[in-house]
Structure 1
Amino acid sequence: MIARTCARTVVLLGLALPAGTAAQQAPPLDIGGLLSVGARAHADSALGAEGFRLFESRFKLTGRLGLVFDYRFTVRYDAPSDALRIHDAAVTMPLIPEFELSFGMLKPYFSYEASLERGDITFLERSQAVIALRPDRQIGVQAGGQALDGRFTYGAGLYNGNGRSVANDGDNYMFAGRVQYNSIGTIAFYDELVVQAGASLGYSTDTSAPLGRGIVTGDPVAAPRITSDFAGNRLFWGADVQVSYHNLTLTGEYLRADFDLDAPLGGGGPAETEASGGYVQFGYRPWGLFEGVVRYDGFQPALGADRKFMVFGLNMYPDNYAKFGLQYASALDDSPHAPTLSDGQFIFLAQVDF
């Protein structure tokens, strides 16, 4: 009887130990999110409702499975349509520091400001050129890595070219890639002169591809557009540079896209056109808590007048997760309104990023 009881105890311990070991070795799971709320006011009442807004709301899961796979899954709440949408869904194999391979719905390697997480950008929205010309999230495969102790980073990918849609128009693909060099590498606090430069390149052949907001100006209802269902070839590229010294930062980026359309633009317009623009931004952060920023933001769309704005901002960072910001935009040379900027626009922002 005693021997039988001991045998049962050994068997139960044998079954329990692997479960306990598995529990102790469970893959790490990080839960995070981004919440941006605030208020927006316009000098021109015809631009729509003013008042309090939910600017951005995201929930994300990141983690690792075993020693091979990292994963990232992000769900975004789209306030205008009152719907939840998948924003990121990617699996990455970090083989070596110099090379990793990713699959799924992910952000293409293109543009410096576009590569920043939404919670890390200076203003509420990215610049006009980045919003209009960068490729949005895509389904595809990409590879990237770093070398020279983190000073040199690179990435390139092959994507469907149709945004988040699983469908691929005409079995055509989009290529995008980026390289970047930083004079001192990945160091959190810069106490010396730091110079960073990058270049981006992309190409796509499309039969019905969605493009970024604001490529064509004018009446949002009546004006001819190529912001959706684009058919033709597009070549897009850009260059950027950033110089930092102690509390001062100077950043500039230029982007351009050349469109070769299968049909004339706007029902009789040119079959070949281009759009280009960029920004120059100066920031000063004396004590770490406050940041003053001024930006010139210009964009030449495929149709319509140039859009030139000066944007002024004051940000406060009470800790590593929270941000409060004030933003004011002023149009130059009687520029028309942009999708995200208008003359006399005022924005208050409260953000939590964890």
Structure 2
Amino acid sequence: MIARVCARTAIALALTLPGAAAAQESLPVEIGGLLRAGARAHSDSGIGAQGFQLFESRLKVSGSVGLVFDYKFVTRYDASRDAFRIHDAVVTMPLMPEFRITFGMFKPNFSHEAVVSRADITFVNRSQAVTAIKPGRQIGVEAGGEALEGRFSYGAGLYNGNGRDVTNDDDNYMFTGRVQFNSIGTIAFYDEFVAQAGVSFGYSTDTSASLGTGIVTGDRSAAPRITSDFAGERLLWGADMELSYRGLTLSGEYLRADFDLDASLGGAGPSETEAYGGYAQFGYRPWGLIEGVVRYDGFRPALGADREFMVFGVNMYPDGYARFGVQYATALGDSPNAPTLSDGQFMFLAQVDF
């Protein structure tokens, strides 16, 4: 991680501000990117494409204007649409370490694994519960900060609740919040014992909200009005923890979504339902360059059978830029396949992050 930060700093460009020649003030601009590619193989040909795939391709421009604000703009290539789209567009006013305000389109501060950059997640994809329950990128405003020398952090935001759409549905909004405590702060001393814990909360009243992948599986015609255009109230909450000592890491997270559906729309099924699940994982990194991980990944969708998997993986970090990984997933019992996991699935990852 330190090598990556240093590398990004080294490629930062200094562009002179127009009209500020006398003061010789500069506008630092940092160019970065993420490329994730690999291969996928599984025994069930009906759950998705196999073979070589482009998992992620992003280009980022970020920087700061004096002490006034920081900015970040990220564009992402969407392989399914064969087009580029805006991924993040963020302006942050760092008023003080304990308080900052962020505007734009970005990830709400909800769930530990969800807020971690995709470049730094342990496996190729996030867990089932995080993929299904976390709010997608939203347009809104968030306040947050750090205290106790980085040991305590928080964030709370107000968003449209409709993802990337500029307008919101019927003047309804989404609220999210998260607090986290780390026993040593933001600097990772790998020879010390570190304990970290966090809790997350979200609430939204919706008339046509898009829900996460995997909330409903199987026969959608039997869904209790849980569709891609959800109408009703959502209550989201979760808790997470991580314990680490030198090369050993034990972590887990639980997330739940309670849905109170709009009864005025009619339709079959109950007026209330829920989805919940989580993961528990163990990792060991004995030499710094190689990491072995194992994860239990379970999820109960709002409609469909429970899905439980064990996922085994090995990650290799040859330098501060690159990462190579391979993982194998096996279903527990009669668990059906999930959107991102299947029984007997192999996945290979090659990643460059700069």
Calculate the TM-score normalised by the size of structure 1: 0.92
CA deviation digits over 1:130-189, x for unaligned, max 9?
Answer: 000000110000010000000000000000000011110010000000000001111133
Shift of 1:226: 2.5
Q: Which consecutive residues of structure 1, in runs of 5 or more, have no partner in the other structure?
A: 1-16
Are 1:280 and 2:285 matched, yes or no? no
Rounded to whole Å, the distance in 1 between the matches of 2:307 and 2:285 is 28
Q: In structure 2, what is the equivalent of residue 170 of structure 1?
A: 170
Rounded to whole Å, the distance in 2 between the matches of 1:267 and 1:351 is 46
Rounded to whole Å, the distance in 2 between the matches of 1:135 and 1:268 is 26
Rounded to whole Å, the distance in 2 between the matches of 1:209 and 1:98 is 33
Matches within 5 A, 1:98-113: 98-113=98-113
Rounded to whole Å, the distance in 1 between the matches of 2:222 and 2:89 is 35
Rounded to whole Å, the distance in 1 between the matches of 2:22 and 2:144 is 34
Rounded to whole Å, the distance in 1 between the matches of 2:298 and 2:230 is 23
Rounded to whole Å, the distance in 1 between the matches of 2:238 and 2:49 is 35
CA deviation digits over 1:48-80, x for unaligned, max 9?
Answer: 331100000000111011221100100010001
Q: Which consecutive residues of structure 2, in runs of 5 or more, have no partner in the other structure?
A: 1-17
Q: In structure 2, what is the equivalent of residue 147 of structure 1?
A: 147
Kindly tell me: are residues 46 and 305 of structure 1, through their superposed partners in 2, closer, same or farther at Cα, counting changes over 3 Å? same
Kindly tell me: are residues 173 and 286 of structure 1, through their superposed partners in 2, closer, same or farther at Cα, counting changes over 3 Å? same
Are 1:83 and 2:73 matched, yes or no? no
Kindly tell me: are residues 297 and 265 of structure 1, through their superposed partners in 2, closer, same or farther at Cα, counting changes over 3 Å? farther
Q: Aligned with 1:132: secondary structure?
A: helix
Rounded to whole Å, the distance in 2 between the matches of 1:349 and 1:266 is 45
Residue type matched to 2:316 in 1?
M
Rounded to whole Å, the distance in 2 between the matches of 1:203 and 1:334 is 34
Contact 2:222 2:268 in 1 (8 A): no
Shift of 1:239: 0.2
Q: In structure 1, what is the equivalent of residue 32 of structure 2?
A: 32
Please, what is the CA RMSD of the aligned residues?
1.7
Contact 2:222 2:269 in 1 (8 A): no
Q: Aligned with 2:27: secondary structure?
A: coil
Contact 1:264 1:271 in 2 (8 A): no
Q: Aligned with 1:27: secondary structure?
A: strand
Q: In structure 1, what is the equivalent of residue 69 of structure 2?
A: 69
Q: Aligned with 2:129: secondary structure?
A: helix
Rounded to whole Å, the distance in 1 between the matches of 2:200 and 2:149 is 21
Contact 1:60 1:75 in 2 (8 A): yes
Calculate the TM-score normalised by the size of structure 2: 0.92
Contact 1:157 1:175 in 2 (8 A): yes
Shift of 1:333: 1.4
Matches within 5 A, 1:1-354: 20-21=21-22, 24-219=24-219, 224=223, 226-263=226-263, 267-354=267-354
Give me the identity figure in percent: 74
Kindly tell me: are residues 57 and 171 of structure 1, through their superposed partners in 2, closer, same or farther at Cα, counting changes over 3 Å? same
Q: In structure 2, what is the equivalent of residue 7 of structure 1?
A: none
Residue type matched to 1:189 in 2?
F
Kindly tell me: are residues 266 and 342 of structure 1, through their superposed partners in 2, closer, same or farther at Cα, counting changes over 3 Å? farther
Q: In structure 2, what is the equivalent of residue 4 of structure 1?
A: none
Q: Aligned with 2:170: secondary structure?
A: helix
Count of aligned positions:
336
Rounded to whole Å, the distance in 2 between the matches of 1:70 and 1:233 is 34
Contact 1:231 1:263 in 2 (8 A): no
